[in-house]
Chains A and B, each alone.
Chain A
Amino acid sequence: NAGVMQNPRHLVRRRGQEARLRCSPMKGHSHVYWYRQLPEEGLKFMVYLQKENIIDESGMPKERFSAEFPKEGPSILRIQQVVRGDSAAYFCASSPTTASLQETQYFGPGTRLLVL
């Protein structure tokens, strides 16, 4: 029973390049969340998606960042023209529903992005 899968686990990019981070939710989960963890900080919510829909992107920077969760395939977090401040760990989480307050989100192992 595979958990949330993220790849790559580590990604190095030069300033100005694009970063694409992938997340496959747990089997049977249709809700995906992306969080960013800066060094020495807790996780910060970025975006919540269901299949083919962005439900809440209130934590997403307005420029250079985008996310999608297509009908088929993994969810993608895309960062265009990366800058050094984008260096962080990016976590994906999934849940089967959002109906219950006690429903935990199941986290992937994260992608560590380093921008040189």
Chain B
Amino acid sequence: AQKITQTQPGMFVQEKEAVTLDCTYDTSDPSYGLFWYKQPSSGEMIFLIYQGSYDQQNATEGRYSLNFQKARKSANLVISASQLGDSAMYFCAMREANTGNQFYFGTGTSLTVIP
């Protein structure tokens, strides 16, 4: 079974609007962390935001927030006030306490911001 599922291969959003990128995960480990990364066309992976499985509140980092629904095993990324520079691939990833060292990545969502 896939550890991380991103069902939206591509998304479009109007500049200055908000957009939600979906991510669901599968784990039996009660302790885990969820991460979102941005990969622009230049190829590097940029860390955006983190949510721990025991965190009571949704994580926020500037224009990024994470809609964490633990019972549904979803960790959707919300980008508010989209900017042209937000156009990129976005990857959801998970790290489990039991497996520790490796990150499991989804297949990514390509976001295009339209002026």
Chain B interface bracket (under 10, 10 to 19, 20 to 34, 35 or more) = 20 to 34
The listed residue with most B CB atoms (<10 A of its CB), out of A42, A58, A101, A112, is A42
Which of B11-19, B45-53, B69-77, B78-86 lies at the interface? B45-53
CA gap between A112 and B93 in the complex, in Å:
21
Interface size on A (CB < 8 Å)? Answer: 28
Residue of B nearest to A104 (CB): B47
Residue of B nearest to A45 (CB): B102
Query: Among residues 55 to 90 in chain A, which have CB atoms less than 8 Å away from a CB atom of chain B?
Result: 55-56, 58-59, 89
State the total of A-B contacts with C-beta under 8 angstroms.
65
Contact A40 B35 (CB under 8 A): no
Contact B108 A101 (CB under 8 A): no
Which of B50, B103, B107 contacts A102 (CB under 8 A)?
B50
Known: A45-B102, A48-B101. A107 touches B107 (CB 8 A): no
Which of A56, A101, A102, A108 contacts B44 (CB under 8 A)?
A108
Residue of B nearest to A99 (CB): B100
Contact B102 A91 (CB under 8 A): no
- Beyond the given pairs A41-B108, A101-B32, 8 more chain A to chain B contacts, judged by CB atoms under 8 angstroms and listed by A's residue number, are A41-B107, A42-B108, A45-B103, A45-B104, A89-B43, A101-B97, A109-B42, A110-B43
Instruction: Report chain A residues within 8 Å CB of B111.
Output: none
Determine how close the nearest CB of chain A comes to the CB of B37; give it in whole angstroms: 8
A30 on the B face (CB < 8 A): no
Residue of A nearest to B4 (CB): A42
A116 on the B face (CB < 8 A): no
CA gap between A110 and B104 in the complex, in Å:
17
Contact B103 A105 (CB under 8 A): yes
